[in-house]
Amino acid sequence: MKLGVSSCLLGSMCRYDGGHSREKFIVDELGKYFEFSPFCPERLIFPTPREAIRLVRVDESIKIKTSNTNKDVTSLVENISKDLVSKIENDELCGFILKSKSPTCGMERVKIYPDKKNGQSENVGVGVFANELKNRFPYLPIEEEGRLNDPWLRENFLMQVFAYKAIFEFLEKNPTLGELVEFHTSYKYLIYSKSYNYYKALGNIVANRDKKSLKEVLQEYKRLFLEAISKKGTIKNTHNVLLHIYGYFKKVISKDEKEEILESIEDFKKEIIPLIAVIKIIKLYTKKFDIKYLKTQVFLNPYPKELALRSKVEAYK
């Protein structure tokens, strides 16, 4: 699996000041599971070290200018950003991690400076490369390194990355309608945890009551699936999923066991315990009673357990 990453986050000395912004979690943890494709639009135009560039509001438009000499480099940065994004199409990336606050790579809250000295700056900009990337690949999982410090955003991003990879690998095999049903079934609870409306809509596509061609069904399913996995999970939806799963073995466990798991589910809802605590109990009963339907559910194993993304209570706040 390949992730695009802003080069400075991998330790490359490509920042304007000659330094880097190496991110330990990306390099040391994600590096165990992903191959990285580094990108740095600025380094392809300017030497290192160099004069910093920044977004500047000039009348109604946003320009990119050098910080000291005030040189307009808008065309240079926009052109190299478009070229880089065009090359990405052949890289088979399943996600991208961008450098926050960067005039090229920041995906939000990038500072926009006033053209006049007495004006006020605004933290509402988007980096040129990041904007081009989002426009060209609207469903590609994209995050900033700073936001990955938030357990909830980190889990949602990586859950989306693995699901994004899965749908493309699945479609490459030219699946039958029956195989689509199997794929969708395995993702039912993960999709439900993000949006009940998407859960229903995807189910209707798979049911194919209008007797559309397989090609049409697969295209519709892919588009809506990518939209669904881009949504952030919520405590409410995840709580509902856990109760649905509980229904598969509530008739075969003892009264005390029922009370234990229901208490755990409610404790998760109240943000007292992390999701992984409930998942462990569910997996125990799934294995004990050999519940094959639950064994196929990606919701219970959306990514390598070693990432420990569901081990913090804050993950769903």
Interval 155-187: pLDDT, tens: 889 999 999 999 999 999 999 999 999 999 999
Distance of CA 19 to the CA centre of its chain: 27
Quick one: which of 144, 67, 68 has its CA closest to 105?
A: 144
Q: Three-class SS of residue 147? A: helix
Each residue of 27-71: pLDDT tens digit? 998 999 999 999 999 999 999 999 999 999 998 899 999 999 999
- HSE (CB half, 13 Å, CA atoms) of 197? 3
User: Which amino acid belongs to residue 13?
Assistant: M
- HSE (CB half, 13 Å, CA atoms) of 113? 18
Residue 313 has pLDDT above 70, yes or no: no
The pTM for the full model equals 0.89
For 64, phi then psi, to 5°, come to -110, 120
d(CA 89, CA 249): 45
Residue 311 has pLDDT above 70, yes or no: no
Quick one: which of 302, 39, 77 has its CA closest to 310?
A: 302
The CB density around residue 149, as the number of other CB atoms within 10 Å, is 11
**Residue 106 CA: distances (Å) to CA of 86, 109, 152:** 19, 7, 20
Quick one: which of 11, 45, 16, 15 has its CA closest to 26?
A: 11
d(CA 152, CA 253): 32
d(CA 225, CA 66): 42
In this predicted structure, what is the pLDDT of residue 159?
A: 92
> Residue range 278-303: average pLDDT?
94
Each residue of 65-120: pLDDT tens digit? 999 999 999 999 999 999 999 988 778 899 999 999 999 999 999 999 998 877 78
The CB density around residue 71, as the number of other CB atoms within 10 Å, is 12
Whose structure tokens read 């040391």? 28
